[in-house]
Amino acid sequence: MKILLATDGSDYSEGAAQFLTRLDFSPADEIAIVNVIAWVPIMSEWETLYPDFQEIRREIAPKVLDSASNILKTVRAKISSLYVEGYADKSIVDTAVDVGADLVVLGARGLRGIKSRFVGSVTKLVALKSPKPVLIVKPPQQEISGNIKILLATDDSVHSDAIAKVLSSIPFPDDTEITIMYVIFSAFSDIPERFAMEIDDRIKASIASAREKEFKESEEVIAKTREYVGNRFSKIHDITRSGFPSTEILNTADSSNIDIIVVGSSGMRGIKGMLGSVSRNILNQSQCSVLIGKTG
């Protein structure tokens, strides 16, 4: 596997590098570290200083790259590094494609220094635009103690199948624990259970029949997903919930102390690389790290 680790020298970026030391890389794996010398607009009286700012960044870039390399010195993968110039999000996405990365890894820089679940703009834009799977490492997961717990959310789409295959190719430790989750978004999701039981027998029968079919479909989807990850992971659980997908996934991740949520990306309006609403909600609101799959 080839991973592109994007770093800016921040604690968030170095936390992402620290997380990678938990994986069982082989000498055949590769981690390419990239630092972007950003094109920052300079206005009015500062404009004349722009060349100086860029020169300073060029001098700092090797130090940023060396710092990340030092964190990764214990891993068995081949380590390389480079810096590029341009807009940060576009440069990271383009570099991932250019180097043939299988996965992009970033730290989740917070907004305005506030400790929240939300990720910064560059991280979000890379997750939105990248045609490659993206792992966003959030601070609680930078130094995980014990085995890694992963929640793999599936909806039986090609996007879910693709990210399940990617998950199996990442060199997680043997004791990694996988929970496969399917969320039933029922035709009766907006009818509270206590009211559904008060309506006439015909409607009750329709609801019961629909729910039986939904749970049967859930079992089939989970069994299919198990085939993708079963040869790679030995600790596999499954869970089915009914409700709104992003809400149920986030609640389950919180209650089960999940380290990484894994979701496919359904895209939106046919734009390659964009995220569907469930992926966006999870990326924005998750307390834990998020791995977002891409197809096409």
Q: What is the pLDDT of residue 265?
A: 79
Q: What is the pLDDT of residue 103?
A: 97
Q: Considering only 40-44, 129-133, 216-220, which range has the smallest mean pLDDT?
A: 40-44
- A 10 A CB-CB count for 214 gives 17
Mean pLDDT on 192-220: 70
Q: What is the pLDDT of residue 248?
A: 93
Mean pLDDT on 266-275: 43
User: Which candidate, 76, 77, 141, places its Cα nearest to that of 103?
Assistant: 77
- Residue 106, SS3 per DSSP: strand
Higher pLDDT, 154 or 43: 154
Task: Say if CB 266 and CB 159 are below 8 A apart.
Answer: yes
Give me the DSSP letters along 120-179.
Answer: PHHHHHHHHH-SS-EEEE-GGGTT--SS-EEEEEE-SSHHHHHHHHHHHHS---TT-EEE
Q: Which helix (H) or strand (E) holds 63?
A: helix 50-71
Q: How confident is the model at residue 235 (pLDDT cuts 50, 70, 90)?
A: very high
Q: How confident is the model at residue 170 (pLDDT cuts 50, 70, 90)?
A: very high
Tokens representing 41?
A: 């607009």
Between CA 57 and CA 37 the distance in angstroms is 6
Paired with 32 in beta bridges are 4, 80
Q: Considering only 137-141, 204-208, 282-286, which range has the smallest mean pLDDT?
A: 204-208
| C-alpha atoms less than 13 angstroms from C-alpha of 69 in its C-beta half-sphere | 15
**End-to-end CA separation in angstroms for the chain:** 18
User: Which candidate, 85, 38, 35, places its Cα nearest to that of 63?
Assistant: 35
Assigned CATH topology for domain 144-296: Rossmann fold (3.40.50)
Q: What is the pLDDT of residue 141?
A: 56
Task: Say if CB 181 and CB 282 are below 8 A apart.
Answer: no
Chain-wide mean pLDDT for the chain? 83
Q: Considering only 146-155, 178-187, 222-231, which range has the smallest mean pLDDT?
A: 178-187
pLDDT tops 70 at residue 123: yes
Q: Are strands 103-107 and 78-86 parallel, antiparallel or unpaired?
A: unpaired
- Residue 296, SS3 per DSSP: coil
- A 10 A CB-CB count for 144 gives 17
Q: What is the pLDDT of residue 166?
A: 92
DSSP letter at 275 equals P
Higher pLDDT, 158 or 271: 158
- CATH topology of 1-140 equal to that of 144-296? yes
What percentage of the chain exceeds 70 in pLDDT?
A: 76
Task: Say if CB 240 and CB 184 are below 8 A apart.
Answer: yes
Q: Which helix (H) or strand (E) holds 82?
A: strand 78-86
Task: Say if CB 81 and CB 32 are below 8 A apart.
Answer: yes
Higher pLDDT, 25 or 145: 25
| C-alpha atoms less than 13 angstroms from C-alpha of 244 in its C-beta half-sphere | 11
pLDDT tops 80 at residue 204: no
Domain range 1-140, CATH class? alpha beta
* Domain regions of the chain by residue span: 1-140, 144-296
